[in-house]
Structure 1
Amino acid sequence: MEAFLKVVGMRKSFKNVEVLKDISFEVFKGEIMAILGPNGAGKSTTIRNIMGIMYPDEGSVTFQGHKEIPRNTIGYLPEERGLYKNVKVMDILLYFAELKDYPLKKAKERALAYLKKFGLEGKENSSVEELSKGMGQKVQFIASILHEPEFLILDEPFSGLDPVSQELFKEEIRSLAKNGTAILLSSHQMNLVEEMCDRLFLIHRGQKVIYGSMDNVKKEYANFKCTIRGKNDLEILQDLPEVQRVEQQDELSILYLSKDVQVASWLKHLPDQLEINELSIDRISLHEIFIDIATDKNLLREEATLHA
């Protein structure tokens, strides 16, 4: 698989404070790569250095082996929206396409098709200020993909969208990746990231914490947990084998199990006196991994340091 973007050893400081510390990762053609981290972790600074809005103090950013940013083949949906409020929707879409040297006739045809697809048919002559927040988000998304980019950066693309619109965006993003677009996606909606992305790069305090495929990350960091609904004694649950910790609230107990637990065998150790109205076993979610790292709970820190 060919890497479209390669970031190596990126460092950036502001007023002697190092905000990026030796950042390295790749984004391949046809994949959706997530860049994640809590507020202030360095995600936006990383993206701005990739886009040439600012430049790293050290390190390199290359696109298919070249240092020059191929602006005509990059799409960018920034977190801070930038649509001109008093301009008609079609005019602004064609303006963005023109900036990418995209053929005007083709841009208009694609714009009309996308407006219809995203439920904005008939809005081409409306001004941006007449649109709802969600509609405006759709227009800006269309502007970022209208010119058929080879590399696409999406910063919080699902912000302000209702569930139906989120599904439309997810479908289009997957379609773009399937057709070969390299996609770098940043979002705080961990459930969507976990569902969509092939790989992830998790950054905290300016440095890499986790980097790898979604499957490998789940295997490395997402131990099993057992959720039991029923009125049970905390000490009995804590004394069970392979239980690292127990969180209990009212009649809900969550048992976090050790890394190498054999689930089928472990279930046989549950005592008969347990009250079990419901029981489920699954892996720790990406959301829980993110919260653990962002809040410095250190529940996964030892493993993350070993395997990152």
Structure 2
Amino acid sequence: MLEVAHLVRRFGDNVAVSDVSFDVAPGVLTGFVGGNGAGKTTTMRMIMGVLAVHGGEVRWQGRPVTIEDRRSFGYMPEERGLYPKQPILEQLVYLARLRGSTASGAKRRGSELLERFDLAARAGDKLESLSLGNQQRVQIAAAVMSDPALLILDEPFSGLDPVAIDAMADLLREYAERGVPVLFSSHQLDLVERLCDALVILAAGRVVAKGSVPELAGGRTRYRLVLGGSTAWLADFGGVRVLETNGSSALLELTGATTDKLLTEALARGSVYELAAVRQSVSEIYREVTA
């Protein structure tokens, strides 16, 4: 398990990260969400030892993280760090050998990953000859070349087309299924919702929410009611809180009424096309906790 405990980082008088704490458990895909300047990249760099920690601690397997531990971590930085004029497979092999892989094992692993990302035919090409999206795929391959014990990925889906996004998502799920803790940041909240088991939401350098989507939604169940006529009567219907309306459709919470009572009343007033439970989305949760 990765444990981030009360991390602090300053840049001059600016406190970029303030008392940030969260865990990334084995086999859990954890989404790291926040606006620009929220502190996500700074926190990831402290986890990896790229930036010094000014307060708090990073722990791995219940003890302070070491340089040797970090050598087993797969890291994809926000600023991509590959060599533009070096052949793709050659540099993947080089990077893997820095982490202790054999030349033959690294070449085999690199070839497998390039095949997976539809880049096998470009293995001998220089990185700079690839599109930005394909360079991103190579950067992802570099992060997982040595079968990492932990994955830290800063905006891994940025610049990827839908096919590459699906391939990347499958890869992350595979590592999670092996028991690897995975932490990744993304501004694409629909992807975070689709992939993640847990969320950590930052704002202004602080954790403002963390947990699973159901936990962050507070256990509240929302309902969408679609009628054949107006929803105006809901405002005076006891035991219901109307969150929003759009013509004949309403999003609401039950504060005392039952679904049976609501449906009976709605049918008495006309046609009912839908009454369905709606889970609060990550986007909605994000807007609520960062408002």
Using the size of structure 2 for normalisation, the TM-score is 0.89
Task: Report the CA distance between 1:229 and its aligned residue.
Answer: 6.4
1:144 maps to: 143
Would you say 1:273 and 2:269 are equivalent positions?
A: yes
Task: Report the CA distance between 1:102 and its aligned residue.
Answer: 1.9
2:36 maps to: 39
Equivalent of 1:67 in 65, 68, 74: 65
Q: Percent identity?
A: 34
Rounded to whole Å, the distance in 1 between the matches of 2:9 and 2:288 is 26
Unaligned residue ranges in structure 1 (runs of 5+): 297-308
Unaligned residue ranges in structure 2 (runs of 5+): none
Q: Spell out the pairing of 1:59-208 with structure 2 (5 A cutoff).
A: 59-64=56-61, 65-69=63-67, 70-208=69-207
Would you say 1:289 and 2:285 are equivalent positions?
A: yes
Query: Equivalent residue of 2:96, what SS?
Result: helix
Task: Report the CA distance between 1:180 and its aligned residue.
Answer: 2.2
Residues 236-261 of structure 1: CA deviation (Å, up to 9, x unaligned):
23223343334234x36332315777
Question: Is contact 1:71-1:100 (8 Å) kept?
Answer: no
Query: Equivalent residue of 1:47, what SS?
Result: helix
Rounded to whole Å, the distance in 2 between the matches of 1:106 and 1:83 is 20
**Aligned residue pairs, count:** 289
Structure 1 stretches of 4+ moved >6 Å:
none
1:57 maps to: 54
Query: Equivalent residue of 2:268, what SS?
Result: coil
1:303 maps to: none
Letter in 1 for 2:277: I
Taking a change above 3 Å as real, the CA distance of residues 221 and 84 of structure 1, as seen in their structure-2 partners, is farther
Using the size of structure 1 for normalisation, the TM-score is 0.85
Residues 96-150 of structure 1: CA deviation (Å, up to 9, x unaligned):
2122222221010011111111111211011112212221111110000011110
CA RMSD of aligned residues (A): 2.3
Taking a change above 3 Å as real, the CA distance of residues 262 and 43 of structure 1, as seen in their structure-2 partners, is farther
Query: Equivalent residue of 2:245, what SS?
Result: strand
Taking a change above 3 Å as real, the CA distance of residues 254 and 14 of structure 1, as seen in their structure-2 partners, is farther
2:235 maps to: 238
Query: Equivalent residue of 1:191, what SS?
Result: helix
Rounded to whole Å, the distance in 2 between the matches of 1:231 and 1:32 is 43
Rounded to whole Å, the distance in 2 between the matches of 1:230 and 1:127 is 61
